């Protein structure tokens, strides 16, 4: 990921601007959304997206395993699945024409899984990531599960 930091030549310890965004692990979803709003507005304008939110999963999250199991089931969406990784990492695994594409996504990565593409998401046994989710619909994350247990046979490559 590229980054731009701008300083006055008389103040080496005080950045005037840091790109893209400086955040801490403890920032709230609202803070993260606000920090990325200028970038989101540009991205959402390009994609015609209608809404965005933040998904944050840590190993001690009370729903970590439930959410992991849900995302691990092969599914499709009626819209592109657009994610930007603010922190941490996870794997989007795509199942296309008899081939598995395991895409490791890390901080600074933007991925768009095309609508109708069979896929699952695996962040491992101790999931740790924060991602912006961009939706063209207003009803958020809606999955149509295929019922195929193929993800059980392809543990993510980390
Ligand atoms: Fe998905």
Local confidence band at 116 (pLDDT 50, 70, 90 cut-offs):
very high
Local confidence band at 37 (pLDDT 50, 70, 90 cut-offs):
confident
Q: Residue 45: pLDDT above 90?
A: no
pTM score: 0.80
Nearest in space to 19 (alpha carbons), one of 40, 43, 36, 42: 36
Better-predicted residue by pLDDT, 33 or 158: 33
* Cα 122 to middle of ligand 1, angstroms: 10
Ion ligand 1 contact residues with beta carbon within 5 A: 81
* Cα 71 to middle of ligand 1, angstroms: 7
* Cα 11 to middle of ligand 1, angstroms: 45
Q: What is residue 114's DSSP assignment?
A: P
Q: Is the peptide bond before 57 cis (omega within 30 degrees of 0)?
A: no
Local confidence band at 27 (pLDDT 50, 70, 90 cut-offs):
confident
Q: Which tokens go with 16?
A: 């005037």
Q: Residue 1: pLDDT above 60?
A: no
Digit-coded pLDDT (tens) for 129-156: 999 988 877 677 789 999 999 999 998 8
Digit-coded pLDDT (tens) for 71-80: 999 999 998 8
Residue 17 Cα distances to 21, 35, 51, 64, 85, angstroms: 9, 13, 27, 35, 21
Cα–Cα distance, 124 to 131 (Å, whole number): 15
Q: Residue 86: pLDDT above 60?
A: yes
* Cα 80 to middle of ligand 1, angstroms: 9
Helices (H) and strands (E) in the chain, counts: 2, 10
Buried b (16+ CB within 10 A) or exposed e, 19-54: ebbeeeeebeeeebeebbeeebeebbeeeebeebeb
């Amino acid at each position: 990921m590229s980054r731009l930091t701008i300083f006055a030549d008389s103040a080496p310890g005080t950045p005037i601007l840091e790109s893209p965004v400086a955040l801490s692990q403890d920032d709230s979803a609202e803070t993260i959304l606000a920090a990325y709003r200028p970038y989101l507005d540009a991205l959402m304008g390009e994609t015609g997206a209608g809404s965005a939110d933040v998904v944050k999963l840590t190993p001690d999250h009370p729903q970590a395993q439930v959410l992991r199991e849900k995302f691990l089931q092969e599914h499709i969406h009626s819209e592109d699945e657009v994610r930007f990784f603010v922190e941490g990492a996870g794997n989007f695994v795509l199942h296309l024409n008899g081939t598995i594409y395991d895409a490791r996504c890390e901080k600074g990565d933007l991925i768009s899984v095309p609508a109708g593409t069979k896929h699952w998401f695996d962040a491992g046994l101790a999931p740790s990531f924060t991602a912006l989710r961009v939706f063209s619909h207003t009803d958020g994350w809606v999955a149509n599960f295929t019922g195929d247990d193929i993800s059980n046979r392809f543990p993510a490559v980390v």
